[in-house]
Amino acid sequence: MSTGRSVTPMGPAELVQAAAMARRFYLEGKSKIQIAEEFGVSRFKVARVLETALERDLVRIEIRVPAELDAERSDALRSRYGLRHAVVVESPADAADDAPDPENLGEVAAGLLGELVHEGDVLGLAWGRSTIHMAAALHRLPPCTVVQLTGVYDAGTAERGSVEAVRRAAQVSGGEAHPIYAPMLLPDPATAAALRGQTGIARAFDYFDKVTVAAVSIGSWEPGISTVYDMLSEDERAHYASLGAAAEMSAHLFDAEGRRIGRDLGERCITVEADRLRRIPEVVAIAGGQRKAAAIGAVLRSGLVTSLVTDTAAADYLLNEFTPGARPALDRADPDGVG
């Protein structure tokens, strides 16, 4: 970093002293007081010399992050929405407007989980393509328990879906795995209630209140972008659309303002309840792409999410086209009580 100012040249003694002080401060990590004592000057003198070293280009500060991360958008998104963590990944150059979440979101989210999860935590994983990609990319996790937060999209593909994601995360961490061998959506509330009472599923549900970090996906209310949308009949899709469905997360539906709608659908689903989700200290959403941008904004408004891994396409919409109102991730408001 250089100010580019035009200033009077420094003499050789000044240059040598400034370089020495800068080395002590920036490379050796000494405090200004320690440097002042060593050179027999005041700490205010040290501060002026260090400032001059920057002005004269004796010191250049570079802030570098991996090329695929956009630090400026990440910080802007975190600040605007009151998120604990926001990580924005460069959208692939060849990504189509209707493409699903970029796979590199899962890789970056895997790295973020490595930072957020601590020994003894309970990690919850919800169904979603992004969370499955994330689990596949995991290489390090401290010892923790891993629990599945939703049923599977198709019980016949459980080995390649959320059950396998839970197993993978538990294998990496060396902790216990609590998968759910049941579909996410059932034909009626009675069947769903009966399944929730089965031993294995009930054991997983018992862990929901102990989850400390959760990873979830977000879908917009359209085919191919929402798992729940794809599982419903045409009449059911039209019904929830008439209620204003704009986004879906873990089988919970939200309108554009972040209010939860279609609570009757939740009675037919094997999933973590919205209120339990809201009480989880850290909920990381993984979603990106232009088609999901508005849905991501709706879920952020709900207050259920505390952190976000997304791409530049979605981030630009969230920063330029979408108004969050309050900073919902800080408030953790109840989406059933909004409006």
pLDDT of 140-182, one tens digit each? 899 999 999 999 876 444 445 788 999 999 999 999 999 999 9
Mean pLDDT of 24-36: 91
pLDDT of 79-124, one tens digit each? 888 899 999 998 876 555 555 567 788 889 999 999 999 999 999 9
> Is the model more confident about 31 or about 63?
31
Helix, strand or coil, per DSSP, at residue 151: coil
Look at residue 129 in the predicted model and tell me its pLDDT. Answer: 85
- Which DSSP string corresponds to 267-314? TTB-B--HHHHHHSSEEEEE--SGGGHHHHHHHHHHT--SEEEEEHHH
pLDDT of 292-315, one tens digit each? 999 999 999 888 999 999 999 999
Q: Is the pLDDT assigned to residue 209 strictly greater than 70?
A: yes
pLDDT of 52-61, one tens digit each? 888 888 887 7
Rounded to whole angstroms, the Cα distance separating 203 from 180 reads 9
- Which DSSP string corresponds to 214-281? EEEE-EESSTTT-HHHHHS-HHHHHHHHHTT--EEETTEEE-TTS-EE-HHHHTTB-B--HHHHHHSS
